[in-house]
Amino acid sequence: MALIVQKYGGTSVADLDRIRNVAQRVARTYDAGNSVVVVLSAMAGVTDQLIQMAHQITDDPTKRELDVLLATGEQTTVALLCITLEAMGYPAISLLGFQAEIVTDQRFGQARIREIHANRIIDLLRQRKIVSVAGFQGRDPKGNITTLGRGGSDTSAVALAAALKADVCEIYTDVDGIYTTDPSICDSARKLDRISYDEMLEMASLGAKVLQTRAVEFAKKFNVPVRVASSFKEEAGTMVVEEEKDMERLVVSSIAYSKDEARITITKVLDQPGIASKIFTPIAEAGIVVDMIIQNTRQGGLTDLTFTVPRTDFQAAMAIGKEVARAIGAEEVLGDEYIAKVSAIGVGMRSHSGVAAKMFTALANENINIMMISTSEIKISCVIEEKYTELAVRVLHDAFELHKA
């Protein structure tokens, strides 16, 4: 007899048959005596189609209206799910973002949830209704429709679970849990039973696409237990939970990788105070997020500055870099789109030394050159040539013996 929030992603509601499959899973959970809130994404591909339609009109569609358009995707799936559940004899009701009182700020297209007035949902659950909430959307304080950005339905689900003090937030997707690394490139990848919020956060921000970063932040902040599992299987999946003592036994718990970045180097920059600000301020003003930054000192008071940006922003960042380079009298701007970032993640790093050394050695043994390194308390990332990505992942997975439970 628990309060359970279940979120189903786009592939899980891609057509009427799959929506029926979701309805059956929801019904089983309900029949077991639980209170169930279901959060849905749009059907797979629909959000992209709508964006494409708007872009046929203009390269830069008004953000407020684009959100009105995109919100139809989740509106469609919650209505279809409730029609299916009702046809099966279950009392179901859909709520859109504004009806569920998911209040966000006014940043159309990437709004952040400020608060959720959960009273209406709680009332409906007391009446033993199955409540289906449209994910990805909310309303701002003025009643405008907002959307939460890519993968926002995960955040909707976790935020609702937090507001409702749910016992668990189940994220159903097309993979059956969190793996030690991507199983499609590493045969010995192993599904994890549990993982800590911090590790999941690093994995999400380092390229694992299974959970949206902000959803994990929410879960950590409000201590919502999250289960990631497949909507097509009956397996338990992976629990994302607070760090536990026994987790520390694993020094490294997973290997992540990302091919979403590009590297830019500005050579022979005058090594003086304020120079980094001159380079990175205009880039930030263009809305480009810089990930890693490295500065190498040369002789003669000169330095080389290397940084990475999202690959989609590469051309824009190069143009800004060239302009800045002229302005500050730097030598040249070099770009490389064909890089990848491989990362080892694990809360055990906090108390173990030698992780970095083991990682560098494993890569060196395969003659994989490391271009950039960045570290945090619980991860080490190396930028390498893109062509070595899969090899590097397998080598690191072996080196840290992640195939062993």
- Catalog residues that contact a second copy under the rule CB under 8 A: 16, 19-20, 50, 53-54, 56-58, 60-62, 64-66, 68-69, 71-72, 75-76, 78-80, 82-84, 86-87, 92-94, 96, 98-99, 143-145
CB of 230 to a second copy, least distance (A): 24
- CB-wise, 62 or 281, nearer to a second copy? 62
Nearer to a second copy, 86 or 398 (CB): 86
CB of 296 to a second copy, least distance (A): 46
Which of residues 81 and 210 has its CB atom nearest to a second copy in the complex? 81
What's the min distance (Å) between Cβ of 147 and a second copy?
12
Give me 147's structure tokens.
């959307």
> Nearer Cβ to a second copy, position 78 or 189?
78
Angle between helices 63-87 and 46-57 in degrees, nearest 10 = 150
CB of 391 to a second copy, least distance (A): 45
Q: Which is nearer to a second copy, 95 or 255 (CB)?
A: 95
Nearer residue to a second copy within complex by CB, 86 or 243: 86
285-305 burial code (b ≥16 CB/10 A, e <16): eeebebbbebeeeeeeeebbb
Minimum CB distance to a second copy, residue 143 (Å): 6
Least Å distance, CB 366 to a second copy, is 50
Q: At what angle do helices 355-365 and 389-399 cross, to 10 degrees?
A: 130
**CA–CA distance, 293 with 349 (Å, rounded to integer):** 22
Q: How far is the CB of 50 from a second copy (least distance, A)?
A: 8
Residue 171: C-alpha distances to residues 4, 7, 161, 263 (Å) = 11, 5, 11, 34
In the complex, the smallest distance separating the C-beta of residue 24 from a second copy, rounded to whole angstroms, is 13
C-alpha–C-alpha distance, residues 32 and 379, integer Å = 41
Q: Are residues 284 and 321 in contact, defined by beta-carbon separation less than 8 angstroms? A: no
Find, among 204, 250, 180, 196, the residue nearest to 397 by Cα: 180
Q: For residues 69 and 270, which CB has a smaller minimum distance to a second copy in the complex?
A: 69
Question: What is the Cα–Cα distance from 279 to 317, expressed in whole angstroms?
Answer: 10
Closest contact distance (angstroms) between CB of 133 and a second copy is: 12
Nearer to a second copy, 143 or 274 (CB): 143
- Please state, as a whole number, how many other Cβ atoms lie within 10 Å of the Cβ of residue 101: 17
Check: CB of residue 85 under 8 Å from CB of residue 79.
Answer: no
Closer Cβ to a second copy, 19 or 166, answer by number: 19
